[in-house]
Amino acid sequence: MSKDFIKSALQAAGVFPLVRTVYRRFSSGVRLQQRREVEFYAQVLKPNGLCFDVGANLGQRSEVFLKLGNRVIILEPNIKCRSTLDFLFARNEKAEIITSAVGRKSGVIEFYSHGTAATSSALPDWDRKVFGRDRGQVSQTVPMITLDDLVSRYGIPDFVKIDVEGFELEVLSGISQPLPLLSFEFHSDDMAKTRPCLTRLSSLGELSLRACSMDCDWLTPRTDNPDECLRIIEATQAKGDLFVWTV
**Could you report the per-residue pLDDT of 68-79, keeping only the tens digit for each?**
999 999 999 998
Q: What is the pLDDT of residues 180-226, one digit of tens each?
A: 999 999 999 889 899 999 999 999 999 999 999 999 999 999 999 99
Distance (Å, whole) CA 210 – CA 191? 15
Domains located in the chain, CATH noted:
36-172 (3.40.50.150), 178-247 (3.30.1490)
Distance (Å, whole) CA 221 – CA 245? 13
Instruction: Give the torsion sign (CA, 93, 97, 103, 108).
Output: negative
Q: What is the pLDDT of residue 117?
A: 62
Distance (Å, whole) CA 69 – CA 51? 10
Q: What is the pLDDT of residue 128?
A: 67
Q: What is the pLDDT of residue 72?
A: 98
What is the pTM (predicted TM-score) of this model? 0.92
Q: What is the pLDDT of residue 136?
A: 67
- Specify the length of the chain in residues: 247
